[in-house]
Every structure is written in structure tokens, then in C-alpha cells.
């Protein structure tokens, strides 16, 4: 079953860029990554899903229901953590969490207690007096306290120290094991690589590709680095599937996708001093996606 289904979603703001014709779906129980640079349209997509903004055209369903028409009903089962958290400054942490819980018609006090312990949060402080990282922790507890079936995270890790980030990821993995579906937007690839099963890459308001992390990483791409006796011509490796060629004196490197034999023949035809073939990390693949259209 698809928890989120987005169909040809378009949102334009006057002349400013929004999102164009976005379509993808998130299956039940998966951790879905949504990556792209700042301003690519990640937040716009997410805010449309949450009916904070309304689409110009297209539609989206969550739990099989239209996300605008059934917004209040759907939101009972959604936990949302924005990239920047802001709460009523003169409230105490305790009161804010209580207020947040009061919107869900169930007893959340036990879960609040657990989460507060994991996140190491001081309940009696005023929101105003909290550091950025601590506010973020309040956000995490606030987003998870009603044990939502769908967790939507919009660049959630900013402001968290590495230790907390670790705890937070563990928490998310635990929620996922319990059955929660997670939509995780980020521009930091290593965290997406670590958590997600599948990923959608968005660029300038359009989806570039939707793939499994494993497919992106292992099957398609190899990173070649070749050391030769004399510098190679930049054009030597100009065969299909070769990208990002860089020649640095005697060292030539590129990313390759396709039949590996072709490139091996090419390499065999020249005098080489050393050879490295590696799995590229997501970052390099990602850059590749972005650069090829420049």
C-alpha cells in the first residue's frame, strides 16, 4: 500500500519557482529520502502534503485520502518536524508538549515521558531559554508523541549535535520497525544514505529520479581512478557512460555507468601505472545528477 501518493503536483508562486509536475509515491513501512539542494522545492512539496499551502494543480493522497479534503483526519496520524522549530516562547516545555498532545484524542503522557528521557530534555524550562539544539529536541518529542503512522521530516538534523543526531536516527529506525513510514527531506546525503531505502532527487522543482539507494550506489556506478605514465588526453575516455572526467597530471578519474567491458578495453589499450575502481558515495552520484544538465 502507498502511504503517500503524489500525482503531477504543481505549485507556482507568481514568477518565483515552485514545484512542477511532481509525482512519486512512498510505500508503507519505508524510509523515503527526498533530496535536493536548498530551494529545489522540498519544503514546498512537504507543505503541500500538509495542506499548509494549496497546489496550483495536481493532487496528493495520504493513507489513500486526498491531502487537502481530508486534511484534519489525515493529520491525526502524521508527525511533522520542520527544519526550524518555533514554539510559543513564554510556555514551558512541559506545557507545550501537553498542548500539543491535547490535539490528539489519546493519552500521550507515557510516550512523552519515554521520548523526553531519550532526548534528555528539561521539562521545566521555558521555550525561550532553550538553545537551538534543545528547541529541536522539543520539536522531535512534539512530532513523535502521538505515535504517528507517518513521520514527515523537513531537514530535521540542523542544530543537533552528532550524539543527538545518532540518538534521533536510532529513534526513527525504531519507529520505522514499529511500522511507521518516514518521509525524510534533506540536503545532507550521508544521513539519507544511512537511513533511507529509496530516494527521490529533486532539482529546480522537478523530480530528477526516484531510485533505491542500493541501486544508485552499487549497481550502476563505478568510480575509476587511473594513474598513467604520461598525462592522458581529456578526450581519451569519451565513450558513452563516462562522466565527470578529471585529468590531473598523470591521474585521470571519472564516474562510469554501463557495460564495464567497454571501459576496461579502453584502459587496457593504454599504459597504466595504477588503477582504482570504487563504489562512489551518494554525494558523487548526486553531483553527477546535478551537473549533467548544467
Partner 1 sequence: MNIFMHELQASRKSTMIWSLSLAAIVVFYMALYPSFARDAAEFTKILEGYPETIRNALGINLGGFFTILGFYCFPLAFISLCGAIQAMNLGTSIVSKEVREKTADFLLTKPVTRTTILTAKLLAALTSLVITNIVYLAAASIMVFQVKTEDFSFQLFILLSLTLLFIQLIFLALGVIISVIVPKIKSVLTVSLATVFGFYFLGMLSGGTSGEEAKRYLSPFKYFETGYILKHASFEAPFLMTGAIIIILAIAASYLVYAKKDIHAV
Q: Which residues bind partner 1 (CB under 8 A)?
A: 43, 47, 50-54, 71-76, 78, 80, 82, 84, 86-89, 99-100, 102-104, 142
Task: Return phi, psi of residue 180, to 5°.
Answer: -75, 140
Shortest distance, position 52 Cβ to partner 1, whole Å = 4
> Shortest gap between Cβ of 11 and partner 1 (angstroms)?
9
Return d(Cα 291, Cα 192) in angstroms, integer.
Answer: 20
Q: How far is the CB of 203 from partner 1 (least distance, A)?
A: 19
User: Measured from the CB atom, is 137 or 198 closer to partner 1?
Assistant: 137
Nearest approach, Cβ of residue 243 and partner 1 (Å): 34
C-beta closer to partner 1: residue 181 or 243: 181
Are 230 and 251 a contacting pair, CB within 8 Å? no
Rg (CA), the chain: 23
Q: In the complex with partner 1, which residue's Cβ is closer, 50 or 200? A: 50
Give the closest residue to 62 by CA, choosing from 155, 142, 144, 150.
150
- Whether 225 and 278 have beta carbons less than 8 Å apart is answered as yes
Query: Which of 51/61 has CB closer to partner 1?
Result: 51
The residue (of 54 and 124) whose beta carbon lies closer to partner 1 is: 54
Q: Which of 10, 207, 187, 180 is nearest to 80 (CA)?
A: 180
Q: Which is nearer to partner 1, 47 or 257 (CB)?
A: 47
Nearest to 131 by CA among 111, 161, 105, 109: 161
Shortest Å distance, C-beta 82 to partner 1:
5
In sequence order, which ranges of 120-215 are alpha helices (DSSP H)? 132-144, 162-177, 189-195, 213-214
Q: Which residue, 99 or 276, has its beta carbon nearer to partner 1? A: 99
Sheet holding 251-257, edge to edge: 242-248, 251-257, 221-228, 272-278
To partner 1, the closest distance from the beta carbon of 256 in angstroms equals 39
What's CA 157's distance to the chain center, in Å? Answer: 11
Of 150 and 232, which has the nearer Cβ to partner 1? 150
Minimum Å distance from CB 9 to partner 1?
A: 14
Q: To the nearest whole angstrom, how small is the minimum distance from the Cβ of residue 92 to partner 1?
A: 12
Give the three-state DSSP class for 151.
Answer: strand
Q: How many CB atoms lie within 10 A of CB 261?
A: 8
CB 271 within 8 A of CB 209: no
**Rounded CA separation 289/294 (Å):** 10
Amino acid at each position: 500500500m502507498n502511504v503517500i501518493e503524489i500525482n503531477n503536483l504543481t505549485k507556482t508562486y507568481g514568477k518565483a519557482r515552485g514545484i512542477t509536475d511532481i509525482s512519486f509515491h512512498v510505500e508503507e513501512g519505508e524510509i523515503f529520502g527526498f533530496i535536493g539542494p536548498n530551494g529545489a522545492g522540498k519544503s514546498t512539496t512537504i507543505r503541500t502534503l500538509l495542506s499548509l499551502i494549496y497546489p496550483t494543480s495536481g493532487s496528493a493522497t495520504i493513507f489513500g485520502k486526498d491531502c487537502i479534503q481530508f486534511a484534519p483526519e489525515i493529520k491525526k496520524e502524521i508527525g511533522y518536524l520542520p527544519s526550524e522549530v518555533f514554539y510559543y516562547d513564554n510556555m514551558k516545555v512541559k506545557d507545550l508538549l501537553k498542548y500539543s498532545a491535547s490535539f490528539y484524542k489519546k493519552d500521550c503522557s507515557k510516550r512523552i515521558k519515554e521520548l523526553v528521557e531519550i532526548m534528555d530534555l528539561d521539562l521545566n524550562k521555558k521555550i525561550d531559554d532553550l538553545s537551538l539544539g534543545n528547541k529541536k529536541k522539543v520539536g522531535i518529542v512534539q512530532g513523535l508523541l502521538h505515535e504517528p503512522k507517518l513521520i514527515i521530516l523537513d531537514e530535521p538534523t540542523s542544530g543537533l549535535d552528532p550524539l543527538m543526531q545518532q540518538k534521533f536516527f536510532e529513534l526513527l529506525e525504531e519507529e520505522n520497525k514499529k511500522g511507521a513510514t518516514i518521509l525524510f527531506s534533506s540536503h545532507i546525503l550521508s544521513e539519507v544514505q544511512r537511513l533511507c531505502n529509496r530516494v527521490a532527487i529533486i532539482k529546480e522543482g522537478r523530480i530528477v529520479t526516484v531510485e533505491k539507494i542500493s541501486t544508485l550506489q552499487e549497481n550502476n556506478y563505478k568510480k575509476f581512478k587511473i594513474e598513467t605514465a604520461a598525462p592522458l588526453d581529456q578526450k581519451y575516455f569519451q565513450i558513452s557512460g563516462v562522466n565527470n572526467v578529471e585529468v590531473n597530471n598523470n591521474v585521470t578519474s571519472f564516474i562510469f555507468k554501463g557495460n564495464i567491458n567497454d571501459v576496461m578495453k579502453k584502459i587496457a589499450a593504454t599504459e597504466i601505472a595504477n588503477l582504482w575502481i570504487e563504489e562512489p558515495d551518494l554525494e558523487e552520484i548526486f553531483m553527477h545528477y546535478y551537473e549533467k544538465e548544467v
